Amino acid sequence: MFFPKLKAQSRQRRAVEQFAGLDRRPGSGAGCLREMENLWSGGYPALEVRPRRSVMAELTKPHAFLGREALVWVDGTGLYINGAKTAPVLSDGDKRLVCMGAYLLVWPDKVYINTQDFSDWGRLENTRQTSGEVTFALCDESGTALGEYTVRTYAPGEPETGDLWLDTSRPACVMRRYDGSAWLELEGVCTRISAANIGTGFSTGDGVTLSGCGSSELNGLHVLQAVGDNWIVVPALCRTLGSQTAMVTVMRTVPDMDFVVEQGNRLWGCKYGIVGGEAVNEIYACKLGDFRNWNSFAGLSTDSYAAARGSDGPFTGAAACQGGVVFFKENCMERVYPAAGGGHQIVTMACNGVKKGAGGTVAVADGVVYYLGMDGVYAFDGSVPVCVSRQLGEKRYAGGVGGGESGRYWLAARSSAGAWELLVYDTARKLWHREDDKEVVALSRYGGAMMLLCRDGTLLDTSGTYGTKEAQVDWSAETGDLGLYTPEHKYLERLQLRLELASGASATAYVCYDGGSSWEKAGSVTGDGRTGGYVMQVRPRRCGHLRLKLAGSGGCRLYSASAVYEKGSDGP
């Protein structure tokens, strides 16, 4: 008697050897992960646990952080450079730090300090008010008195060569010098204002505003021609001279600005709102090479700059890139093209701009500006902003902070509910990875690695180079639904995972069946120091579809995942 010959059920093997990072979209491809923690793209095409971080410093009240040649942070009201507390006392609140050469600028406090010489610090603004007698005298641009001169509406009779005449025949007075044949206008005539300490804190070339002078010609905006502790010289000529005891005020001011960046040896800033009772929608630039002066207008290519804009809405972010400056609003950008001759141009371009409240997410990585927009993360390479965060699914963020380094854009994003996520975008491979849920105050590159200043006061080195390294890293990786897209009622018979584990590290596999909420343990492996890899066999029970989660502690690299599918019945 012969039994009927049975056919073995057909099997199909599929392997994944390239893991494409985080992808929360339904139906994402094989090798994509719906959720993850503490993974990065450094091991691509394998899936790898991020390096252990190290703690560089512990702050009490973190407000700002910046890493350049020096490591700078603000803790409470103190400003620290390379761990040393400096003299400036700041207001208690979050700050914006901007570098210009060796100088560090702190906003909104408007404080500067030389990072190489801590004794060289001060405030960008300066105000002096007189309290005694103030005298006025005509002089040249260096402050030297002109000497005796005649004041009248007509020319003096029988003049000698070199005689001076203040011509008051016109509303604007003119100083003239007799050259032996005619009265010629004398150029460079200024007024010297003398009073105790009136010039302290000012420098030649400062743009200042004078008020309180008895002569109206002296009140207003001027560029100082010469300065001493007890005198200043302004390029103005008035017919009424002498002295007064009424208070005279001299001010060097810096506009209040929403965002400030450095480009081309200038600071550039923007402001939208009500200032002094007037609506303001302007872009500013300081004098070339002089961050103290924002009102120096002498008709030179090095002058300060200010321009009103017609685009609607508040400014939401700013970045210096590709030799220019970009100021963002939610629905457009103001792109500044600086010119060496001073003829700067600004072009308004309608586009998806930076989301309101997300100005801290603007960062430059590999010459491309990345930022959080209304419906995702955008990349601007100089043409048109393009969304690069479709893999993050429908989740939307309300704000956060960002930072750029070579090949990566870091985004600590905050949801509208207040939950945080630290995401990293690999700019070369176009991959997203999620690290953890730390609330980050600031990110900055230092020593070739990204540094994180967390709200709890911890300053972290993501490369683990500086400071004390953390213990084993807890990690996890969760797939989307497996089996929904297999034809002919195939079901997953087994999974074979090829891993490499550090000594003492562990990895455990869990399975969730048919859209349930509970996870069942399906296998585990522990690293014992062997040089070869490990193979984890996962044999799920028969189901319509499932989700796989790997979780563990310590260093781990997943090289491949091989799935064996078996054909089921043809019934529904």
pLDDT in tens, 36-85: 999 999 999 999 999 999 999 999 999 999 998 889 999 999 999 999 99
**DSSP three-state, residue 254:** coil
Q: How far apart are CA 343 and CA 363, in angstroms?
A: 27
pLDDT (tens digit, 9 = 90+) per residue, 490-535? 667 788 899 999 999 999 999 998 888 889 999 999 988 776 788 8
Phi (first) and psi of residue 359, to 5 degrees: -60, -25
Q: How far apart are CA 82 and CA 60, in angstroms?
A: 16
Instruction: Give, as one character, the DSSP assignment of residue 407.
Output: T
Does the pLDDT of residue 345 top 60, yes or no? yes
| Sheet with 317-321, edge to edge strand ranges | 317-321, 324-328, 332-337, 345-350
Q: Which CATH architecture has domain 11-51+474-567?
A: Sandwich (2.60)
Task: Tell me how far CA of residue 232 lies from CA of 123, 133, 208, 228, 239, in angstroms.
Answer: 20, 14, 11, 6, 18
The tokens describing 571, both together, are 């019934």
Beta bridge partners of residue 125, listed in sequence order: none
Average pLDDT in the chain:
91
The more confidently predicted of residues 571 and 476 is 476
For residue 371, the cross-strand partners are 378
Lowest-confidence region among 99-113, 302-316, 400-414, 551-565: 551-565
CB 367, CB 381: distance < 8 Å = yes
Place of tokens 């899936």: 47
- Sequence-ordered list of residues with C-beta below 8 angstroms from that of 442, at least 6 positions apart, any chain: 62, 64, 65, 66, 360, 401, 403, 452, 453
The pTM (predicted TM-score) of the whole model is 0.90
SS3 track for 285-336: ECECCECCCCCCCCCCCCCCEEEECCCCCCCCEEEEECCEEEEECCCEEEEE
Give the DSSP H/E element, type plus range, for residue 251.
strand 249-252
For the chain, give every domain's residue range: 11-51+474-567, 55-108, 127-252
